[in-house]
Every structure is written in C-alpha cells, then in structure tokens.
Amino acid sequence: MSISPLQNKDVEVFADNLPIMMWSAAETGTRDWFNRTWLNFRGRTLADETGFGWTEGVHPLDLPHTLEASRSALRENRPFEVEYRLRRHDGVYRWILAKGNPYSHEDGSSGFLGCCFDITDHRANEEKLGDALVEREALLREVHHRVKNNLQTLMALMRFMRRSATEGGREVLDILNLRLVTMALVQKHLHSADTITEVSASGMLEAILPELTEMGLGLDLQLEDAAEDLVLPGQATAYLGLAISEAILLFSQGGSRSCRISFGRADNLRSIDLRGVGGRLDESQVLLGQRLVRQYARGAGATVDIREEAEGPRISLTFAQP
C-alpha cells in the first residue's frame, strides 16, 4: 500500500480504488503520493513516480508548460488545471487533463491534491467535429458561389427582356429584378463573410441596404445602430434578407418616403422592426407582398406582424433566441 499524505487509511483505500488518477504534492511542489489508478496507468511503482519521477512520462514538448502551471499555482496558492500528454504503460502517449487544489493540515503542513482524466478520445472527437465543420463551411461557400453566379445570369436575362417589354411588362420585370438583386447581394455577402454558419443580421443589412437604395425605389433606407444584433445561420440570414427586401418593396409601392430599420430585444425574443414614414400599404400588392414576407420570414425562423400605424406602415419580425 502506498504511503499517503492524507493520513487516513480509509480515505487512502477509497482513493486507491477510484477510477481516476490522483496525486498529492508537498508544499515544495514535489509529488509524494499517487493512487493505484495512476500507478497502473503508468506501469511503475510509487518510488518510481514520487519526487519528479512522474515527469519522465510527460511528453517533452508538454513538460515546460506543465511544470510552470503547477509552480505558478503553488506560488500563488490557487487551483490550477493543465492539459499534457502522459506516456501510458504500453508506451502510448495519452492526453491528460490535470487539476490541482491547495490543501492544508491541522498540523500546519500544506501542499496540493490533484486528479487527472484521460481526455484523448474527447480531443479526437473535437478534432473530427472541427474537420467536419470546416468541410461543411467549404461546401456551403461553394453552393452560395454557384447560386450567386446563376442569379447574375438571370439578371442579365431580365435586362435583355426589358428592352422589348411593354410598360406594364417592364414594371413586372423591374420588381423581379429587385428580388434577384437582393438575392445576389445576400449571396455575395455570405460568400465574403468570415463564416456562414453564424452571420450577423446587422452586418448583412449594412452590406445590402446601400445598393438597394440605388435601385430607384424612391425610399430613404435608414439602419439604426444595432445595440442588440441578431446572429443567424447562413440560410436563415438569406431568407431574412429576402423578407426585409420584400417589406421595403411594399413600403415603396405604398408611397412611404423612408423606412427605418431597428433591432430590439425583450426577454428571449429578438426583433427587427421596419417602420415606414408616410404612405400606406398598396392594396394591389398587399396579398402577394405580405405572403412573400411571411414565407421568407418563416424560412428565417421568425414570426411576422404587419400593421398600419399613424406614422405609416410597420412590419415586425420576431425571433425566439436567448
């Protein structure tokens, strides 16, 4: 039986039979006890491991930061944790998470008690997940790139068709073109974003609103500072951009002079409000326009409230998000 600084045979027996590796260190920082689980993992005796013998199993590249973690904690009398590779009895290095806490006895002696966990499988799973996310990100970027190129082809076709269209036909084509332009702008933003798994809604709007303003809608678009931003997956952000574009089109057709867009939060609800100044929702466009706004908002994970107010029309998109 190993000699334990715990000074209690019952506690020592308990510690020796725990399925986790445990150790203790004197106030000088040298290790003076390891439980049976540690010794079985290492395949060495207590005499082999005490003092600084345990460091013989630490991977050379990990030894400096491992020792510094325990030494600095010892100097400051605080808990610590550190990850390092430790050689198992079969010669294989395993990743270990070590945690230590300071202790003191009634006789005035002090030191550290610690435990270690084999986290090799956990780290391997994290790496696999990271690789999968990188592959998914690359695939999504390629999809968005192809969608953007196809949209540009469609817009060129719209411009060609407009040359020979009647006045009514040109109006329809202009509306379709606006929708295609919005799709292309959103795809362009997603393609240039650092990541498309988490996209800032305010960042997306900052990117597309200036170009929508140049579309000749007769509407001043104002994006207020987003104190409460909204972060969405790429696909949801694309739907959000289309919903907002469709709402702006409704305001333009209804005669609004401007549109203010703001972000809000209440409890676990996030919201984006579009407020038109002047005008009313064009009755000839309400049915289709509102249907598209609601459909796109649903794709973004939002509910929609459309109403007329004294100042002008208002469309609110609400998201359940902590």
How confident is the model at residue 80, as a pLDDT? 93
The predicted-structure confidence for 270-319, as pLDDT tens digits, reads as follows: 899 999 998 887 665 556 778 888 998 999 999 999 888 888 899 999 99
How confident is the model at residue 1, as a pLDDT? 39
**Highest mean predicted confidence (pLDDT) among 3-12, 99-108, 109-118, 226-235:** 109-118
Structure tokens at 317: 């998109």
Does the pLDDT value for residue 144 go beyond 60?
no
Does the pLDDT value for residue 178 go beyond 80?
no
Question: 63 falls in which pLDDT band (50, 70, 90)?
Answer: very high
**Highest mean predicted confidence (pLDDT) among 63-67, 111-115, 169-173, 246-250:** 63-67
> Dihedral through CA 76, CA 77, CA 81, CA 82, nearest 10?
50
Average pLDDT, the chain: 81
Structure tokens at 221: 């678009």
pLDDT more than 90, % of the chain: 31
**Highest mean predicted confidence (pLDDT) among 148-162, 242-256, 274-288:** 242-256
How confident is the model at residue 3, as a pLDDT? 43
Does the pLDDT value for residue 148 go beyond 80?
no
Which structural domains are found in the chain, ordered by start? Answer: 9-118 (3.30.450.20), 136-320 (3.30.565.10)
The predicted-structure confidence for 184-213, as pLDDT tens digits, reads as follows: 777 777 766 667 678 888 888 888 888 788
Does the pLDDT value for residue 47 go beyond 80?
yes
Q: How far is CA 141 from CA 144, 148, 236, 276, in A?
A: 5, 10, 15, 34
Structure tokens at 53: 């013998």
Three-state DSSP string of the chain: CCCCCCCCHHHHHHHHCCCCEEEEEECCCCEEEECHHHHHHHCCCHHHHCECHHHHHECCCCHHHHHHHHHHHHHHCCCEEEEEEEECCCCCEEEEEEEEEEEECCCCCEEEEEEEEECHHHHHHHHHHHHHHHHHHHHHHHHHHHHHHHHHHHHHHHHHHHHCCCHHHHHHHHHHHHHHHHHHHHHHHHHHCCCCCCEEHHHHHHHHHHHHHCCCCCCEEEECCCCCCCEECHHHHHHHHHHHHHHHHHHHHCCCCEEEEEEEEECCEEEEEEEEECCCCCHHHHHHHHHHHHHHHHHHCEEEEEEECCCCEEEEEEEECC
User: pLDDT: is 268 or 217 the higher one?
Assistant: 268
How confident is the model at residue 55, as a pLDDT? 95
How confident is the model at residue 88, as a pLDDT? 95
How confident is the model at residue 315, as a pLDDT? 93
User: pLDDT: is 55 or 129 the higher one?
Assistant: 55
